[in-house]
Amino acid sequence: MKLVSLAIGLGLSATAVLVVPGSGATASMEPEVIVDKARPVANKYLDQRLSWRQCGDEELRTFCTKITVPRDWAHQSSGHDIQIAVSKVAPKHGKPSRVVFGNPGGPGGAGLGMAPYLAGQAALAKNHLTVGFDPRGTGESTNITCQGAPGYTMDARDRDPWNLDLIAAASGLHQAYCDRQSRGLLPYITTAQTVQDMDLIRQLLGFNTIDFLGYSAGTWTGAYYQAYFPQHVGRFVLDSNTDFTSPWLTSFAAQPAAFERRFRTDFATWAAKYDDRLHLGTSPRLVVRGYERLRAALKKQPVTEEFMDGAIRITYDQNTLDQMVAADMYTKLDFYSLALDLAFLRDLSAAQTKGGPRAAQHKIDALSPARQRELVRRAHRTPVGLAPFGDDYEDATFTAITCNDTAWPQGQEHADQLAGRLGPRNPLIGWTVNENPCFYWDRPRLNLPQPTGHGLPTTLMVQSAHDPATSYSLATAAHQRYAGSRLLTVTGEGDHGVYGGVNRCADRIVEAFLTTGRAPGQDVSCRGEGIPAPNPVPDVPGADDGAAAAALRDRSPLRRIQGFSAAISGYLH
C-alpha cells in the first residue's frame, strides 16, 4: 500500500479518535459520478478482439495487450473510452484450469509485473493463467498526472502558523493541477471503476471465476471486487491488509504508530545488537537519539553534494532523512542499507560542520562508483514496490483513489489538529498528517458498497505483526468484520508484503490455498524468520557494503514485482 508511499506523511495514529465527516462535508465534482453497483457490459466491449504481443525478454514468457473500457462504467454510451494494459503468462504445458489476478498495491502501483511474478511461483505455474494489469490512471494504461502541483518542502514538525498555512495552501492547490492535466479522467479514478475493469478482463479471458493475490492496497481492491462480483470470486488472498471494511482514513490512521513501532522496536533494536559493525548506538534508545540529532543537524545545515563526477546533485535535509527512514521500514532487507546511510550522513554532516562544504564533498569523491550509484538510487526512490519519483502517474492515481473513494473531514482545522495530536508520540511521520490533499478534495458523489464477506468463499488474509504501512490492527479489525475470513499472522516479523519469500511457513499455507482451495480451519500463525545480520549476500565475492545491500534488497517480493513491471513495460506504445 502506498500508505507512507498511503504516502509519507499521510497518516493518523492507531489510537486516534476517528473524525467522522459531518459539517465539513465535501461538495460534489461535476459531472456527477455514482457507481455503487456492477453494470451490465455493453457488447462493444465484450466483442473486442485482443492483440497479444510479447513484452519483455523471451524467458519471461509474458504477453501483453490493451483492452478498451468506458471512462465511466455508469455511462458506457458516452463515447469516452480509455485503455487498460494487461499482461499474462500461460502454463508451459497444457491449458490453464484456473486464472489468478494480482495487484501490487499503492493504490496506483503498476501491476503488469504481477503476471511473470506469479508465474515464477512454482505452485501456481502448473495450472494457472497468471494475470497482471495496470489499473486505470497508472502505468501503461490511460494515465493521469499531477505534475507541477506544490510539494511539501517545509518541515512538518514546525507548528508556527505561517508554516501550517503554507502546508494547507500546498494541499489545497493539489487537485487543480491533477484535474487540469488529466483530461477529465480524474473523477473516474476510483476503486469502483477499477474492479469493473477487472471483471471485463475476466470475461475477455473466458473464465467464470478468478483467484486473486493482492498486496497492501491491493487488499482493498480485492475486497471491493468481491463486493461487486461475488458470483465470480474464487480463492482470494489478501496480503498486508488495509481495513477495507472502513473508509480510507481508517487505514491512514494506523500508520504513524505502526511506523514508529517498526523503527524503534525492530530497526533500532537490530542496529543496537550489531553496534560493533554499524556504530549507530549500543541501545535502541541511543540509535533513535542518533537519528534525532542527525535530523536536527540536517535541518540547521542541509548538505548538498555532487555525485558521479558532478552529474547528479543531492540535497540531504530533515525531510530527506525522514523519507529515507520511513521508506526502509517496509522490508527488513533494507535495514542494512539504512544503517549504512545513517552512518554515512552522520559523518557527512559532521565533515561539513567542521570543514565546510568542500570537506563534505571530499568524502563523496572518496566513495567507490558502486557506492555512489547506490546512494543516488536510494535518494530517488519511493518505498518498496513502487516506481521512481519521476513516474508521477502512480502518485497521482494514489491520490485520486484515496481522495475519491471515501469521504474525508474537510479543511485546515481538521488537518492541523490531527497532526498536533499524532506528532508528539509518533514523530517519524505523525506530524505530516496535514500534508494531504484529501482534506481539501472536492470528491465525486460516490457511495461504495461496504465489503462484508457474506456469501463468499473463504478469504485468506495474511499479515505480519509489525507491518509499518498496514498495521496489524487493520487486519484484525477487517477480519473481525469480514464473514468467512481466516487470518494468517506472521509473528516476530514486520515486512510489508509476505507471500513470495519472506516466510516459508506462510508460503506453504498460501500456496495450498491457491492451488487446492484448502483453507486453514481457523486462524493460524507462523513464526518470523528474523532479521538478517549485517553481513548479507555472502555469495557475492568481493562485494562492497553498498553492492551487498543492493543485491539483498532484490529478494523482497514487492521489489521483485516492481522489477518485473519495469522489465515488461514499454512494449505496448
- Sorted by where each starts, the structural domains of the chain and their CATH numbers stand as 43-144+185-247+447-567 (3.40.50.1820), 145-184+256-405+408-442 (no CATH)
Let me know if 535 is exposed, middle or buried by CB neighbors in 10 A (0-12, 13-18, 19+).
exposed
- H or E element: which one contains 409? none
Phi-psi category of residue 72: left, alpha or beta, with phi > 0 → left and psi -120 to 50 → alpha:
beta
Q: Report how far residue 143's alpha carbon sits from residue 181's, in angstroms, rounded to the nearest whole number.
A: 10
Q: In 10 A of CB 491, how many CB atoms?
A: 13
Identify the pLDDT of residue 8: 32
State the residue for C-alpha cell 468481491: 226
Identify the pLDDT of residue 572: 82
Q: Report how far residue 319's alpha carbon sits from residue 185's, in angstroms, rounded to the nearest whole number.
A: 32
Rg of the chain, C-alpha, whole Å: 23
Q: Which of 239, 223, 330 is nearest to 7 (CA)?
A: 330
Identify the pLDDT of residue 110: 95
Q: Report how far residue 446's alpha carbon sits from residue 91's, in angstroms, rounded to the nearest whole number.
A: 40
Q: Which of 469, 98, 404 is nearest to 224 (CA)?
A: 404
Identify the pLDDT of residue 164: 98
Identify the pLDDT of residue 571: 87
Q: Please, are residues 53 and 64 in contact by the beta-carbon 8 Å criterion?
A: yes
Identify the pLDDT of residue 36: 63
Q: ∠ at Cα 174 (168, 177), nearest 5°? A: 150
pLDDT tens digits, 433-476? 999 999 999 999 899 999 999 999 999 999 999 999 999 999 99
Q: Please, are residues 315 and 380 in contact by the beta-carbon 8 Å criterion?
A: no
Q: Report how far residue 465's alpha carbon sits from residue 540's, in angstroms, rounded to the nearest whole number.
A: 32
Q: Please, are residues 5 and 215 in contact by the beta-carbon 8 Å criterion?
A: no
Q: Report how far residue 546's alpha carbon sits from residue 520's, in angstroms, rounded to the nearest whole number.
A: 41
Number of helices (H), then strands (E), in the chain: 21, 12
Identify the pLDDT of residue 536: 52
β 81-89/459-464 pair status:
unpaired
Report the DSSP beta bridge partners of residue 236.
212, 459
For residue 409, cis peptide bond before it (omega within 30 degrees of 0):
no
pLDDT tens digits, 334-385? 999 999 999 999 999 999 999 999 999 999 999 999 999 999 888 876 555 4
Q: Report how far residue 112's alpha carbon sits from residue 135's, in angstroms, rounded to the nearest whole number.
A: 9
**If you ran DSSP here, which 8-state letter would residue 245 be given?**
T
Q: Report how far residue 312's alpha carbon sits from residue 268's, in angstroms, rounded to the nearest whole number.
A: 31
Q: Which of 425, 137, 418 is nearest to 257 (CA)?
A: 425
Q: Which of 103, 105, 107, 73 is nearest to 188 (CA)?
A: 73
Phi-psi category of residue 201: left, alpha or beta, with phi > 0 → left and psi -120 to 50 → alpha:
alpha
Sign, Cα dihedral of 177, 179, 182, 187: positive
Identify the pLDDT of residue 26: 38
Mean pLDDT of the chain: 89
Identify the pLDDT of residue 391: 64
Distances (CA, A) of 187 to 175, 288, 300, 380: 11, 42, 42, 29
Rounded average pLDDT per 10-residue block, the chain, 573 residues: 42 30 37 65 96 96 98 94 98 95 96 97 94 97 95 95 97 96 95 98 98 98 98 98 96 94 98 97 98 98 91 93 95 95 96 94 93 87 48 92 96 95 96 96 93 97 98 97 98 96 96 96 96 67 48 74 92 80
Identify the pLDDT of residue 24: 36
State the maximum Cα–Cα separation within the chain, in Å, rounded to a whole number: 72
β 63-70/81-89 pair status:
antiparallel
Q: Report how far residue 251's alpha carbon sits from residue 17's, in angstroms, rounded to the nearest whole number.
A: 13
Identify the pLDDT of residue 554: 60
For residue 31, cis peptide bond before it (omega within 30 degrees of 0):
yes
